[in-house]
């Protein structure tokens, strides 16, 4: 174990190009050593600056076997200053390069994009609003691909194109909710060689109403004379809950006057969810459109896959990493710590020698130095 160096431990080879934020005369601790200890702290159930120093001191003898620590363990203030000053765009670019290598590219994969607010990252004293992070998620590998930060949920409209610019999405399918259903975003996805599936709601002017009217009329006529595909699933439970999901997809778009304004648009989709609990039944309809010309069953899988970013990323960040409780607020600190959490999560998901969940793997890494190194090596692309 003692011969390992950070560049041989998977992910760190991709972070050698992160720009040094400090002037030379103020550098005592190597940037790579600071990043390594910060990440190891996140993996081992730590949370903030104090934990980073405490983790380093507890593991100093072991860390010295593979880290350069000429002045010992950095203080919590050093971790705060360096990670608050670190360029988040450059850090994220290295992260994206690592994940795309780890996941063996994104061609043919589903990439949901969605935002999440880090609720306690606001700072009333400076007027800084809570950090809102828009993330791209590779559904097939269950890995975070990249992120970009804003201070407003409404800024997702401008953040998504900036995030897309950082990604190689050739051959991939991007899914977004109704907030991301914008002409410019659709065009950008197609121009970069990808496809899209977008949610439709009332914020799309008349488009949502027109698509809704098309399907309402077609349904009333039993979809006679309407080119379409159909798919249905039925899920029941022992607790008396029954859910029927029906999906219709059509490529008949000659009636849609704004079709030329939506680059690549080929299909419209309606999903009807019918839920029965006991004697009560409720029905909900949702609408989407896409640049794909596939059938209803494939669309059903894509739309279901989109919600993995909520259930497997955002939920895990809140429950497993307690992200919403984080009170790191200074400069770029919240954004960089958010990225460190995602690196830790990706490593835990990539390590498959243990079949336990992410939290169990993090605890084992905190207890067992050998397994902690195994987690880091899980970040080595095949």
Q: How confident is the model at residue 86 (pLDDT cuts 50, 70, 90)?
A: very high
Give percent of the chain above pLDDT 70. Answer: 89
pLDDT-derived band at 326 (thresholds 50, 70, 90) equals low
What pLDDT is recorded for position 1? 38
Does position 104 have pLDDT exceeding 90, yes or no?
Answer: no
Lowest-confidence range among 32-46, 294-308, 329-343?
Answer: 329-343
**pLDDT tens, 261-317?**
999 999 999 999 999 887 889 999 999 999 999 999 999 999 999 988 888 887 777
Q: Are 246 and 230 in contact (CB under 8 A)?
A: yes
Q: What is the pLDDT of residue 248?
A: 98
Query: What distance in Å separates the CA atoms of residue 147 and residue 160, rounded to the nearest whole number?
Result: 9
Question: Looking at 4-13, 182-191, 266-275, which range is the least confident one?
Answer: 4-13
Task: Compare 77 and 14 and report the one with higher pLDDT.
Answer: 77
Higher pLDDT, 254 or 6: 254
pLDDT at 2: 43
* For residue 149, pLDDT beyond 80: yes
Q: What angle do CA 91, 372, 117 make, to 5 degrees?
A: 45
Structure tokens at 263: 């680059």
In angstroms, how far is the first alpha carbon of the chain from the final one?
A: 21
| pTM (two decimals) | 0.88
Judge whether residue 154 has pLDDT over 70.
no
When pLDDT is averaged across residues 243-261 and rounded to a whole number, the result is 95
Confidence band for 35, pLDDT divided at 50, 70 and 90: very high
Query: How does residue 343 score in pLDDT terms, banded at 50, 70 and 90?
Result: very high
Q: Place 199 in a pLDDT band, splitting at 50, 70 and 90.
A: very high
Rounded Cα–Cα distance for residues 332 and 339 (Å): 11
């Amino acid at each position: 174990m003692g011969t390992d160096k950070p560049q041989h431990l998977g992910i760190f080879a991709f972070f050698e190009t992160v720009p040094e934020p400090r002037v030379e005369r103020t550098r005592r601790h190597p940037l790579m050593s600071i990043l390594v200890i910060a990440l190891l702290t996140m993996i081992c159930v730590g949370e903030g600056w104090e934990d980073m120093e405490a983790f380093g001191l507890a593991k100093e003898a072991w860390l010295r076997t593979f880290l350069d620590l000429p002045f010992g363990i950095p203080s919590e203030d050093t971790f705060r200053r360096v990670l608050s000053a670190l360029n988040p765009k450059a850090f994220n670019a290295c992260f994206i390069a690592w994940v795309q290598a780890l996941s063996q590219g994104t061609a043919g994969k589903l990439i949901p994009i969605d935002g999440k607010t880090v609720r306690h990252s606001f700072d009333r004293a400076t007027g800084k609003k809570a950090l809102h992070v828009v993330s791209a998620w590779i559904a097939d590998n269950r890995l975070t691909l990249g992120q970009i930060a804003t201070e407003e949920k409404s800024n997702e409209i401008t953040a998504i194109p900036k995030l897309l610019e950082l990604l190689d999405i050739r051959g991939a399918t991007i899914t977004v909710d109704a907030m991301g259903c914008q002409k410019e975003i659709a065009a950008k996805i197609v121009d970069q060689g990808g496809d899209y599936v977008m949610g439709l709601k009332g914020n799309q002017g008349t488009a949502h109403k027109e698509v809704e009217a098309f399907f309402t009329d077609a349904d009333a006529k039993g979809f006679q004379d309407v080119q379409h595909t159909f798919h249905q699933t039925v899920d029941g439970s022992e607790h008396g809950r029954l859910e029927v999901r029906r999906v219709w997809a059509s490529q008949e778009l000659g009636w849609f006057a704004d079709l030329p304004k939506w680059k690549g648009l080929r299909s419209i989709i309606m999903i009807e969810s019918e839920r029965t609990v006991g004697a009560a039944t409720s029905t909900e309809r949702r609408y989407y459109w896409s640049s794909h010309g596939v059938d209803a069953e494939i669309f059903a899988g894509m739309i279901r896959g989109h919600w993995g970013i909520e259930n497997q990323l955002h939920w895990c960040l809140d429950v497993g990493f307690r992200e919403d409780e984080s009170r790191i607020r200074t400069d770029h600190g919240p954004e960089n710590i958010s990225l460190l959490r995602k690196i830790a999560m990706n490593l835990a998901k990539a390590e498959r020698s243990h079949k336990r969940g992410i939290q169990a793997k993090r605890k084992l890494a905190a207890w067992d130095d050998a397994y902690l190194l195994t987690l880091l090596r899980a970040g080595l692309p095949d």
